[in-house]
Chain A
Amino acid sequence: MNMIVCVKRVPDTAESEVHIDASGRDIDKSRLSFGINECDNYAVEEAIQIKEKLGGKVTVISLGGKENDEVIRMALAKGGDDAIRLDDPAFAGSDGFAVAKALAAAIKDLEYDIVFTGALADDDGYAVVPVALAELLGVPHATYVKDLEILEDGKRARVGRELEGGLMEYLEIELPCVLGIQTGINEPRYASFKGIKQAAKKEIVVKSAADLGLDPSEVGEAGSWAILEKFSVPEVGEMAEILQGDPEETAAKLAQILKEKGLI
């Protein structure tokens, strides 16, 4: 089974303040920490588990600058075999469609049975790449995948997609295909020390838009379906009443409120 895993490096904004920068179209990333997109981490694990079971090769692909190498090397350390980074100033401002085009250009001449991506990116939340990529490659797809079994003949897979309410939809799909992986499909491993050392020595092949045979007009903002005109801070209706004081005081206030509401 030859597999390709697409990974994205994203800022961790769940626990930090997010500030719109001077351009109004981006955020100040100087004080944010970065890491692999959450569902991509599960995608990497899924590919490596299949490789361990059925043999084959795992190629890691990421679009972005040199800083992405850290995310790529972590995937290599866990069991990835080789890596490609798509890097070109022309990719700046790409939406999911433009990213999918760059990925498709890099993948179309590779041999693969399954291309894995995360179901969506934590930063932009587009959820476009897996399904658009499949269409560009002319292969079938499924996204929100939370269960996967390669069927005996190696030509098909039984795929479980997670729907609203946790209901699972099972389908059979022909390989080669693109699968958008959802969190919770497996338990992502931690890289071993040995793996990290080996991965540090591996080559990451860097490809520009021209290397991929892409015209600058096909990628970046020019090649996107939509551009982000500006960010704004969401208007909140009625905010929570924030209880003031140290933990002793806020806890006492809250307990009192719960009592008044008849909950204690």
Chain B
Amino acid sequence: MKDIFVLMEHRRGELRDISLEMLCGASQLGGNVVAVLLGSGVDSFAEKAAGYADKVLYVDDPMFENYNSEAYQKALSALIKEHQPGLVLIGNTAQGVDMAPALAVELGAPLVTDIIALEMEGDKPKPTRQFYGGKLNAHMTLKDAGMYILTVREATFQVGEPTKSGEIVKVENPVKEEITYRKFVEYVEPEVGEVDITQSTMLVGVGRGIREDKNLPIVEELAKVLGADLAASRAVVDAGWLPPDRQVGISGKTVKPKLYLAVGISGAFQHVTGMKGSELIVAINKDPDAPIFSIADYGIVDDLFKVVPKLTEKIKELKGA
């Protein structure tokens, strides 16, 4: 089997979890695992990766201090052409999604994005991914080619103990020309609001099922009697019904309250990623097939407009008793 390239992802001085996850996943496939690290003065990441890889290809150049798809694509395609791996794994992250399809087009390598499981058939990957917001799994067959690219969903693979000590090979930056099309400018932190939901003991998470912002009082009432704070899915934040600092999920906050009560939330993985660590998860949703029920401890399959006011009432009664 040919080598497996795994692209290390880092941001603002941190090696992101997806990097080691993919190295661990790749190690189960057979074949040499090569961590590809593009960065500037990130020797410690190279050392960390070496614990999970057979080799680390490390390009140390100020060009790679911050991610830039133009610089990354040029460097990766040069390294791939030189080393001819059979499989390239890239995170299905805001970085990976911004580069992998262009790289695949350039190299003529079949790409499947956002995979959640992977088996090999000889040299050829057989990935599984999801359709319809996680309601179905799709088993994909790639076109025959000399090399394949996959982007891997976060938390698809578990990170184990470091068992390898791959050689760290510093290579010269293959990108000789200047980066012209696209320039990194700055990072801007999301705004901080009045309530920090990452600190809340209980959260009532509101989803698009609430229909309109004028219906919010019924969940506000519930949150009040519970002593919980309100959180939201992205759909609710995009609609402007609740402020961005209430958003739970991959592009919002990660919360671990004692209780997460999801009301009218379908349970897209981008949301679930941010709340699955909650101690007790309860979902109210009228769709029995809503993916949220597969991670909830308790569920009520019904119209939230009927259940939520009743629940508020019952909690009030119990509190009074």
A245-264 with Cβ < 8 A to chain B: 247-248, 250-252, 254-259, 261, 263-264
Interface size on B, residues (CB 8 A): 99
Contact A263 B226 (CB under 8 A): yes
Q: Chain A nearest CB: distance from B189 CB in Å?
A: 6
- Which of B66, B140, B208 sits near A228, CB closer than 8 Å? B140
> Using Cβ atoms and an 8 Å threshold, which residues of chain A touch B66?
169
Q: Chain B nearest CB: distance from A61 CB in Å?
A: 18
Query: A131 on the interface (CB 8 Å rule)?
Result: yes
Query: A144 on the interface (CB 8 Å rule)?
Result: yes
> Using Cβ atoms and an 8 Å threshold, which residues of chain B touch A173?
181-183
Q: Which residue of A lies closest to B258 (CB)?
A: A263
Q: Chain A nearest CB: distance from B289 CB in Å?
A: 6
Contact B137 A234 (CB under 8 A): yes
**Majority SS of interface residues in chain B?**
mixed
Contact B182 A171 (CB under 8 A): yes
Q: Chain A nearest CB: distance from B255 CB in Å?
A: 12
A63-81 with Cβ < 8 A to chain B: none
Contact B311 A251 (CB under 8 A): yes
> Using Cβ atoms and an 8 Å threshold, which residues of chain B touch A140?
70, 181-182
CA distance A165 to B252 in the complex (A): 5
Query: B171 on the interface (CB 8 Å rule)?
Result: no
- Which of B129, B238, B297 sits near A240, CB closer than 8 Å? B297
Contact B280 A261 (CB under 8 A): yes
CA distance A132 to B189 in the complex (A): 29
Query: B180 on the interface (CB 8 Å rule)?
Result: yes
Contact A97 B131 (CB under 8 A): no
Query: A218 on the interface (CB 8 Å rule)?
Result: no
Q: Which residue of A lies closest to B306 (CB)?
A: A247
**Known interface pairs A141-B102, A164-B251. Does A169 touch B67 (Cβ–Cβ under 8 Å)?**
yes
Query: A227 on the interface (CB 8 Å rule)?
Result: yes
CA distance A184 to B98 in the complex (A): 18
User: What sequence of 0s and 1s flags, for each residue 30-43 of chain A, a beta carbon within 8 Å of any chain B beta carbon?
Assistant: 00000000000000
Q: Chain A nearest CB: distance from B162 CB in Å?
A: 24
Query: A187 on the interface (CB 8 Å rule)?
Result: yes
A212-264 with Cβ < 8 A to chain B: 224-234, 236-237, 239-243, 247-248, 250-252, 254-259, 261, 263-264
> Using Cβ atoms and an 8 Å threshold, which residues of chain A touch B231?
none
B69, B291, B303: most-surrounded residue (chain A CB, <10 A): B69
Contact A226 B238 (CB under 8 A): no
- Which of A122, A135, A242 sits near B300, CB closer than 8 Å? A242
Query: B44 on the interface (CB 8 Å rule)?
Result: no
Contact B250 A232 (CB under 8 A): no
**Known interface pairs A135-B101, A172-B182. Does A243 touch B299 (Cβ–Cβ under 8 Å)?**
yes
Query: A163 on the interface (CB 8 Å rule)?
Result: yes
Q: Which residue of B lies closest to A183 (CB)?
A: B238
Contact B266 A142 (CB under 8 A): no
- Which of B67, B68, B252, B259 sits near A258, CB closer than 8 Å? B259
**Known interface pairs A140-B182, A167-B187, A170-B185. Does A257 touch B298 (Cβ–Cβ under 8 Å)?**
yes
- In the complex, identify which listed stretch (B28-36, B46-54, B104-112) lies at the interface while the others stay far away: B104-112
- In the complex, identify which listed stretch (B19-27, B80-88, B313-321) lies at the interface while the others stay far away: B313-321
CA distance A18 to B136 in the complex (A): 8
**Majority SS of interface residues in chain A?**
mixed
Contact B133 A14 (CB under 8 A): yes
Contact B131 A225 (CB under 8 A): no
Contact B315 A264 (CB under 8 A): yes
Contact B226 A254 (CB under 8 A): no
A162-191 with Cβ < 8 A to chain B: 162-174, 177, 183-184, 187
Q: Which residue of B lies closest to A142 (CB)?
A: B98
A128-180 with Cβ < 8 A to chain B: 128-132, 134-136, 140-144, 158, 160-174, 177
CA distance A229 to B121 in the complex (A): 14
Query: A16 on the interface (CB 8 Å rule)?
Result: yes
> Using Cβ atoms and an 8 Å threshold, which residues of chain B touch A96?
101, 113
Contact B131 A125 (CB under 8 A): yes
Q: Chain B nearest CB: distance from A147 CB in Å?
A: 9
Query: B141 on the interface (CB 8 Å rule)?
Result: yes
CA distance A10 to B238 in the complex (A): 19
Query: A20 on the interface (CB 8 Å rule)?
Result: yes
CA distance A120 to B94 in the complex (A): 12
Contact B311 A143 (CB under 8 A): no
Query: A109 on the interface (CB 8 Å rule)?
Result: no
Contact A165 B111 (CB under 8 A): no
Q: Which residue of B lies closest to A243 (CB)?
A: B300
> Using Cβ atoms and an 8 Å threshold, which residues of chain B touch A177?
181
B-side interface residues toward A, CB under 8 Å?
A: 11, 66-70, 92-95, 97-102, 104-106, 110-114, 129-143, 180-190, 202, 208-209, 226, 234-235, 237-238, 240, 244, 247, 250-254, 258-259, 266, 280-283, 286-289, 291, 293-303, 306-307, 310-311, 313-315, 317-319
- Since A122-B132, A225-B142, A236-B293 are in contact, a sample of 17 more A-B pairs with Cβ atoms closer than 8 Å, ordered by chain A residue number, is A125-B113, A125-B130, A127-B101, A127-B114, A128-B101, A134-B102, A165-B252, A169-B184, A170-B186, A226-B110, A230-B139, A231-B137, A240-B282, A242-B300, A242-B301, A254-B311, A263-B259
Q: Name 9 A/B residue pairs within 8 A (Cβ), A-sorted.
A: A15-B266, A123-B131, A131-B101, A144-B94, A228-B139, A234-B294, A250-B302, A251-B314, A256-B318
